[in-house]
A = this chain, B = another copy of it.
């Protein structure tokens, strides 16, 4: 028996604070995405992060603070991705198309981020909901600007059947829910998903059942 006196399981190597913080945040996003805010335990986060609990409290504060950090980081990442995808100098429908593709691309690549932002943060009231609200409002404004500019260019005034913000909210909601639906139907590609939505919201059922199709114009 080589009594190799391995004292503790193992002690984490000393690392600069910035690196540890990133590791902890990554672990937290993963754990929160799986269990939700309340069911997630700080013990599990610390275990996944490969670091002991007091480190988390020392670096990122209490559970609530930790969750807030997660939301903010992921929301920033996502907005950044969508903004980067939009090309400002193309027609409104193509802007929407690129935005949608960027969005679904992000969800595909960052499933956990999306779960935290959409499924978890919304339900826990308090400081979290308002944080997500900022994200959604930003998205709605982005879309709303598109719609209103497209509409007013045609001289369309606001009327009962047309509220820029309302429609934008519905659109953003449709995109979100389709992303949710996607989680359980992953055999569809992100491009196809974006295409469905584009056809629905741009053409509408009425045109669709007549056999019309919307397709992206050349880049």
Contact = CB atoms under 8 A, between A and B. Distances in A.
B199 A201 contact: no
* Size bracket of the A interface: 35 or more
B206 A202 contact: yes
Given A178-B169, A207-B204, A214 B161 contact: yes
Total identical chains: 2
A151 interface: yes
Contacts of A166: 178, 181, 188, 193, 196
A215 to B, nearest CB: 8
A188 B169 CA distance: 13
A35 B201 CA distance: 35
A192 interface: yes
Given A151-B208, A203-B206, A207-B207, A170 B174 contact: yes
Interface stretch (A6-14, A55-63, A70-78, A119-127): A119-127
B123 A36 contact: yes
Contacts of A119: 122-123
A207 B151 CA distance: 10
Given A160-B192, A174-B177, A181-B173, A202 B204 contact: yes
Residue of A120, A133, A184, A204 ringed by the most chain B CB atoms within 10 A: A204
B176 A177 contact: yes
Given A172-B177, A173-B181, A210-B154, A36 B200 contact: no
Residue of A155, A163, A173, A197 ringed by the most chain B CB atoms within 10 A: A173
A23 interface: no
A180 interface: yes
Contact of A151 (B92, B174, B202, B209): B209
B174 A211 contact: no
A196 B163 contact: yes
Contact of A208 (B125, B162, B197): B162
Nearest to A188: B166
A37 to B, nearest CB: 8
9 contacts: A35-B125, A36-B38, A122-B123, A161-B208, A167-B200, A167-B208, A173-B173, A173-B181, A203-B204
